[in-house]
Structure 1
Amino acid sequence: MPRIDVWCELQCPDCRTALADLALLRDRFGDELVVELRHFPLEKHKHAHIAAQAAEEARAQGALWPYVEAVLVRVEDLAKAKGAAAERLLVEIARSVGLDADELESALIDGRHIFQVDADEAEGAAIGVKGTPTYEVAGRLLDGSKDQTGLREKIEELLAASPDA
């Protein structure tokens, strides 16, 4: 089964732009394509780590991608949020996509998903991820953090040539 690991950061405008390419890839490859979100919070984005934790709670509640897409649509709002306002925004977004917002808020308070986010970040750094979005396809890293031109086509080529496809 074809697979893409997407190293993403939920305060990253480039990751929001990447959603269109991911939608086109899903259209082309259908339900056979596995798109796995991997977290790579960047230091320059102060709410990225907590947003990643919120996304992990959304995954636990069965709505990872709707939540991720809703957060990325509001990336500017998240960037402007100060202090607890960022958490309130993440909880509000959870509510808007039908998640148990109280449970998401509890997850942010008790930190139950910190280790998963930290593990993703460490693995990304170990394999050479430097920015977001970065795609891992058929054992190759494709960095979309500076320019996404032609990336979808390259991903399609790699997926088509992959023995798992």
Structure 2
Amino acid sequence: MTEGSLPRLELWCELQCPDCRTALDDVRALRERYGDALPIVLRHFPLEKHKHAYAAAEAAEEAFVQGRGWPFVEAVLARVTELERRGPELLVEVAGELGLDAEEVELALIDGRHTLAVDADQAEGKAIGVSGTPTYVVAGQRLDGGKSQQGLRERIVALLEG
């Protein structure tokens, strides 16, 4: 690591997980504190108990390809209850609301162009012990979030600045 650089922060997330909405507060606060000096990467870990989580991960990948990944993630997590009811229809709608090419998002869900990326994230997550979301990995250390968000931001800062 060069002087002044920060380690990469990975957020293992699932877009149908209510606890991941809270994780975005941490991400926003860390972005405000460190700006572009902190590389933050979204990693997908869709859980089987959420029937639209995998499609949401694929749609998010397409949103990142189109340059609006984080706004898409935030918008979907803000409507997590609605995602449960409406599924992929909501994902395409959110894409259109954000000015993405909604037709491409819909096609990505049909043709599975991002399946390999989502599967790779999920496999890597399992390999490093991710079992739920949100989970953070920073400076090689896994920090489990979810119900235990209290103090998590401070632990992340300590690892980043350690």
Normalising by the smaller structure, the TM-score range is over 0.9
Offset, 1:145: 2.5
**Corresponding residue pairs, total:** 157
Deviations 1:110-130 (A, max 9, x none): 010011000000000000001
TM-score, normalised to structure 2, is: 0.95
State the alpha-carbon separation in 1 of the partners of residues 135 and 40 from structure 2: 12
Gaps of 5+ in 2: none
The 2-side partners of 1:44 and 1:10 are apart by: 12
Q: Distance in 2 between matches of 1:96 and 1:146?
A: 31
Is 1:7 aligned to residue 8 of structure 2? no
Percent identity over the alignment is 64
State the alpha-carbon separation in 2 of the partners of residues 91 and 80 from structure 1: 14
Which residue of the partner structure matches residue 50 of structure 1?
55
Structure 1 residue runs of 4+, over 4 Å off? none
Root-mean-square deviation over aligned CA pairs = 0.8
Residue 78, structure 1, aligned to residue 83, structure 2: yes
Aligned residue for 2:94?
93
TM-score by length of 1: 0.93
CA distance in 1, matches of 2:73, 2:35: 19
1:57: Cα distance to partner? 0.3
Letter aligned with residue 95 of structure 1: G
Query: Residues of 2 paired with 1:147 and 1:45: CA distance?
Result: 21
Whole-Å separation in 2 of the counterparts to 1:98 and 1:153 = 35
